[in-house]
Amino acid sequence: MEKEIKIITKNWGQINPNQIADYIAVGGYISLEKFIKEMTPALALEEIKLSGLCGRGGAGFPTGMKLESVQKEKSKEKYFICNLDESEPGTYKDRSIVDCDPHMLLEGIIIEALIVGACKAFIYVNGNYQKQIAILERVVGQAQEKNFLGEKILGSKYNLEIEIFVGAGAYICGEETALINSIEGNRGEPKLRPPFPTQVGLFGKPTAVNNAETIANIPWIIARGGKKYATIGSKKSPGTKLFIINGSVKNPAVFEAPLGTKLSTLIDEYAGGVQKGKEFWFAQVGGSSGRLVLKKDLNMKLEYDREAKVSLGSGAILVIDKTVDIHELLLSWMSFFRRESCGKCVPCREGTFRLWEIAKRLQDGEISERDVIAIKDILWTLNNTTFCPLGKFAATAFGDAINNFQKEIYRLSK
């Protein structure tokens, strides 16, 4: 294994996450102090742009650019939102951040909110994360007491209020415009864009939404500089990433590894390889919306790259061995999307419903010629005509499976 670089997990297991003093003792809130005493929002933004940090919520959008567009907006009322909806099956990295080092996340939120000039920051938490909600409430209180939050932060002119907003745990509410709808009290479904939230966001005001993991990188960047951060990981997307490795591996867990690490390294070295007596079949990279990677492609580097065939998504890796029933897998994916589609647009609402029906028939081995054509049609329309990316997500793994494992899925003899 390469020399370990730890940014996000450096305090995990080392400090008591419930004690703000513990976090301060290991250099916590130094970045906030540095930002307040030595920097301007413009300077801090410069560091983030230099770092090359890009979003860890799935799309990999450059964080500096996003913050810049909100910072530029003239509005008096702006918002910053930490996206902690995390409802991708098998993904629990953001939850782990809250469990192990919540103050680091909070410090990141405060700095980013001040950079964009937000009057208020929201933490949008998945409603199933009851324990994490309690932790967040506690740490926000602690930070308030220390005046890292609230009015005239550390004696400066900055004010910031943080609200923990508990969502209902819908997958679509992780999508930023649906998330905004949800906070506004509307139905949790995506909004048309443009306009983008950076211009017309929460309550119609400029809003920056970042994933929790993205935010957790900020204190490090402010403390040590963007240039230094840019040397870590891959050229295209610097830094480290939390990978959640599940399935038929020896040690399923969350690991922090530099971006650009090979998939085989993650599976074999970080997660201890495939379980004894089992044979690797394929891996799904990026959660339930992720693509399937076969043995021959295990050498691929995992990084955020718009051109890459396999998108990293949230960083979840599911390792599937040959004993797994592909039909069960297909049905579990489609049960998820058939439930989590918001129901707004026709191809996704109806398409996921029909694919789920067909997946049940596939499991029972009762599929007809009509279904085979329907699968192709639905995957196509999901890929090309849905309102938001969820439709495409629903088609990704299912489509890869149909393309690669026809024989098994259709129970063909050859």
Partner 1 sequence: MNIKINKKEYAAKDGETIFVACLRNGIKIPTLCGTKNSHEGVCRICVVENNGRLITSCNTKISEGMEIVTESENISKARRINLELLWADHAGKCVTCKKNQKCELQNLATEQKIENFHFIPRKEELTDRENLDLLKDNRTRVVVDEGNACISRTTELCVECRRCINVCPTKELSFNHRAGDVVVGTPYEKPLDCIFCGQCVKDCPTGALTDKNDLLEIIGQLNDLKKMAVALIDPAIMDSVAFEQEEITSQRKLIATLQSLGFEKVFDLGFGMELALEKMTQVVKNSTKNNLMLSHCPSFNLFIEKYYPQFRKNIIDVTHPDELMAEFIKTEYAKKEKINPEDLMVVSISSCVAKKTPVKSSSPSEISKGGEAYFTGQAGSPMAKFDGVKNLDYVITVRELGWIIRQQKIKFEDIGNADFNSGLAVKNEKIKDIIKAGKTAEMIAEKLKVKYIVADGVPQIKNILRDLDKGRVETKIIEAMVCDGGCVNGGGQARQI
Ligand X SMILES: Cc1cc2nc3c(=O)[nH]c(=O)nc-3n(C[C@H](O)[C@H](O)[C@H](O)COP(=O)(O)O)c2cc1C
What is the contact surface with ligand SF4 in residues (CB under 6 A)? 172, 189-190, 341-345, 348-349, 386-388, 390-391
Residue 343 touching ligand X (CB under 6 A): no
Q: E-assigned strands of 286-398?
A: 291-294, 316-321
Give the list of residues 6+ apart from residue 240 with CB closer than 8 angstroms, or none. 5, 6, 7, 8, 232, 233, 256, 257, 258, 259
Residue 51 touching ligand X (CB under 6 A): no
* In the complex, minimum distance from the CB of residue 166 to ligand SF4, in angstroms, rounded to a whole number: 21
Separation between Cα atoms, residue 59 and residue 308, nearest integer Å:
12
Residue 55 touching ligand X (CB under 6 A): yes
Q: Of 373, 403, 406, 407, which lies in the binding site for partner 1, with binding defined by CB under 8 A? A: 373
Q: Of 380, 404, 405, 410, which lies in the binding site for partner 1, with binding defined by CB under 8 A? A: 380
Complete DSSP assignment for 33-57: HHHHHH--HHHHHHHHHHHT-B-SS
Query: Could you tell me if 227 and 216 are in contact, meaning their C-beta atoms sit under 8 angstroms apart?
Result: no
Residue 317 touching partner 1 (CB under 8 A): no
Residue 56 touching ligand X (CB under 6 A): yes
- For 3-32, give the secondary structure using H, E and C: CCCCCCCCCCCCCCCCCHHHHHHCCCCHHH
Q: Smaller CB distance to ligand SF4: residue 173 or 318?
A: 173
Residue 193 touching partner 1 (CB under 8 A): no
* In the complex, minimum distance from the CB of residue 225 to ligand X, in angstroms, rounded to a whole number: 20
Residue 209 touching ligand X (CB under 6 A): yes
Q: Of 131, 377, 407, 411, which lies in the binding site for partner 1, with binding defined by CB under 8 A? A: 377
* In the complex, minimum distance from the CB of residue 188 to ligand SF4, in angstroms, rounded to a whole number: 10
Give CA separation, 138 vs 19, 103, 147, in Å.
10, 10, 14
Q: Of 342, 362, 402, 409, which lies in the binding site for partner 1, with binding defined by CB under 8 A? A: 342
Separation between Cα atoms, residue 275 and residue 12, nearest integer Å:
26
Which H or E element spans position 238? none
Query: Could you tell me if 370 and 409 are in contact, meaning their C-beta atoms sit under 8 angstroms apart?
Result: no
Residues 158-177 close enough to bind partner 1 by CB under 8 A: 170
Could you say which of partner 1, ligand SF4, ligand X, none residue 176 binds, taking C-beta under 5 to 8 angstroms by partner kind? ligand X
Taking every pair of C-alpha atoms in the chain, what is the biggest distance, in angstroms? 74
CA neighbor of 312 nearest in space, from 60, 108, 46: 60
Residue 252 touching ligand X (CB under 6 A): no
- Read off the DSSP letter of residue 128: T
Q: Of 21, 43, 134, 346, which lies in the binding site for partner 1, with binding defined by CB under 8 A? A: 346
Separation between Cα atoms, residue 101 and residue 8, nearest integer Å:
8
Could you say which of ligand X, partner 1, ligand SF4, none residue 353 binds, taking C-beta under 5 to 8 angstroms by partner kind? partner 1
Q: Of 355, 390, 394, 402, which lies in the binding site for ligand X, with binding defined by CB under 6 A? A: 390
- Which of these ranges, 104-112, 155-163, 166-174, 253-261, lies near ligand X under the rule CB under 6 A? 166-174
Residue 374 touching partner 1 (CB under 8 A): yes
Residue 184 touching partner 1 (CB under 8 A): no
- Read off the DSSP letter of residue 270: I
Size of the site for ligand X (CB under 6 A): 23
Q: State how far Cα 404 lies from the chain centre.
A: 27
Q: Of 73, 85, 101, 303, which lies in the binding site for ligand X, with binding defined by CB under 6 A? A: 85
Q: Smaller CB distance to partner 1: residue 144 or 381?
A: 381
In 117-162, alpha helices (H)? 130-145
Residue 392 touching partner 1 (CB under 8 A): no
Q: Smaller CB distance to ligand SF4: residue 207 or 352?
A: 352
Q: Residue 135: phi, psi to the nearest 5?
A: -60, -45
Query: Could you tell me if 122 and 163 are in contact, meaning their C-beta atoms sit under 8 angstroms apart?
Result: yes
Question: Across the strands, what pairs with 211?
Answer: 83
Q: Of 47, 68, 73, 86, which lies in the binding site for ligand X, with binding defined by CB under 6 A? A: 86
Site for partner 1, rule CB under 8 A = 170, 187, 192, 338-347, 349-354, 356-357, 361, 366, 370, 373-374, 377-378, 380-381, 384-387
Site for ligand X, rule CB under 6 A = 55-59, 61, 83, 85-87, 171-172, 174-176, 209-211, 214, 388-390, 393
